[in-house]
Amino acid sequence: MKAFGFTTATLHSDRAKPVEHGAIHKPIHNSAAFGFADVGDLVRVFQGEQAGFVYGRQGTPTTAALEEKITRMEGGIATATFGSGMGAISSTLLALLRAGDHFIASSFLFGNTTSLFETFAQMGVAVSFVDATDTAQVEAAIRPETRLVFVETIANPCTQVADLAGIGQLCEARGLVYIVDNTITSPYLFQPQSVGASLVINSLTKYIGGHGNALGGAVTETGRFDWSRYPNLYDYYKKGNPATWGITQIRKKGLRDAGATLGPEAAHHLAVGSETLALRMERICANAQRLAEFLDAHPGVSRVYYPGLAEHPQYERAKTLFKGNSGILSFELVDGRDCLDLFRKFRVVISSTNLGDNRTLAIPVAQTIYFELGQARRAELGIAESLIRVSVGIEDGDDLIADFSAALEA
């Protein structure tokens, strides 16, 4: 039988197994613990011999239903959800790394991820930050104790596109775990398993949830990595197919020990939001492309960062890898213009952090998310003082263009 398409599979994944009382949505299970008629079943679930739920910190039927949806979206084999994207990233690395290990990360990462990795460095896990648009730089950073490589698809705010396929080949050749944070592209525009990723991270708060009304995170095992060659796994998680040992340790140890659990109510919001991911991304990509072209031609704008513009350094790469370029774009104003002024004139665009909401959000980067770094470090990173990041939403395109046009009027 032909496999269902992306949206059909997402919509109907709950019903692949019987749902209580025929409910169309997987119900919200609030129970903190789960009881067993036979204590033998309780023991077998604890020992990993049998599937089941014991305590809500390690998951509920509601989070399991969302995990099944994300596994299908990513074309993976298993998913664990967390209370936020940062919960997913921190729990995953806590579960996989030990003091003395080394890992390689892109130097263009979500700011809190960079901050977390710096904390790991203070605790005896070394990290090298490299320009991941260039696989040679990743390769040059590999050491005997390197365990994994961590990159994002399209970086925020300046939209660098990592050499996702090249790094995938490198990780495969060198036996390294390859972790791709797919938040900005979402599984509708790109499946990292297609370039050999071992684990895929998604902040569900962003495009997958889509409505800015719940926080969540996920890590998906693609089935592409043979965990029997990975040193840091505990024997009791090495059961069954070696392709699943990593996610087993991430769930059993990472999620359990860190306690970054996704609550059932949030899981339900995120599952409902995920149903329209494809529809929203189509509209977001179309709006973002149109806005990028409008800004690029505007005399008040000196530079636009968007992978859908031919002048973008990774334009061709993005075209080959992604079904669309998503909704993150940034731009700089011509010299002398106060970027905060612009924000005061917006009627549609909301001055806000966050991204992946249905509503268009914009933020002055240097004054907010990169404020702590100071001007000198910002200059090193190529963050202009007038840089504005936009997370394009699903509004009517004409309204968005009109809002930017009016705000940019001198």
Give the span between the Cα atoms of 141 and 146, in whole angstroms. Answer: 9
Cβ–Cβ < 8 Å for 95, 259: no
Helix-helix angle 61-74:264-274, to 10 degrees: 30
Residue number with CB closer to ligand PLP (84 or 91): 84
CB of 206 to ligand PLP, least distance (A): 6
Residue number with CB closer to ligand PLP (133 or 301): 133
Give the span between the Cα atoms of 52 and 198, in whole angstroms. Answer: 25
Give the span between the Cα atoms of 63 and 221, in whole angstroms. Answer: 16
> What is the amino acid identity at position 192?
P
CB of 73 to ligand PLP, least distance (A): 16
Residue number with CB closer to ligand PLP (129 or 230): 129
Residue number with CB closer to ligand PLP (101 or 181): 181
Residue least distant from ligand PLP (Cβ): 85
Residue number with CB closer to ligand PLP (68 or 152): 152
Give the span between the Cα atoms of 167 and 186, in whole angstroms. Answer: 19
Give the span between the Cα atoms of 21 and 17, in whole angstroms. Answer: 12
CB of 222 to ligand PLP, least distance (A): 18
CB of 7 to ligand PLP, least distance (A): 23
Residue number with CB closer to ligand PLP (243 or 362): 362
Cβ–Cβ < 8 Å for 216, 81: yes
Residue number with CB closer to ligand PLP (245 or 305): 305
Residue number with CB closer to ligand PLP (198 or 205): 205
Cβ–Cβ < 8 Å for 353, 363: yes
- SS3 per residue for 139-153: HHCCCCCEEEEEEEC
What pairs with residue 179 in β-bridges?
Answer: 150, 199
CB of 196 to ligand PLP, least distance (A): 20
CB of 189 to ligand PLP, least distance (A): 13
CB of 164 to ligand PLP, least distance (A): 14
Sign, CA torsion 16/280/221/1: positive
Residue 327: left if φ>0, alpha if ψ -120 to 50, beta else—which one? alpha
Residue number with CB closer to ligand PLP (110 or 245): 110
CB of 391 to ligand PLP, least distance (A): 9
- What does the CA dihedral 151, 157, 159, 161 come to, rounded to 10 degrees? -10
> Applying CB under 6 A, which residues contact ligand PLP?
84-86, 110, 113, 152, 156, 181, 183-184, 203, 205-206, 215, 217
Angle at 192 between CA 5 and CA 167, to 5 degrees: 155
Contacts of 395 (CB under 8 A, 6+ apart): 287, 348, 359, 360
CB of 85 to ligand PLP, least distance (A): 2
Angle at 242 between CA 237 and CA 244, to 5 degrees: 70
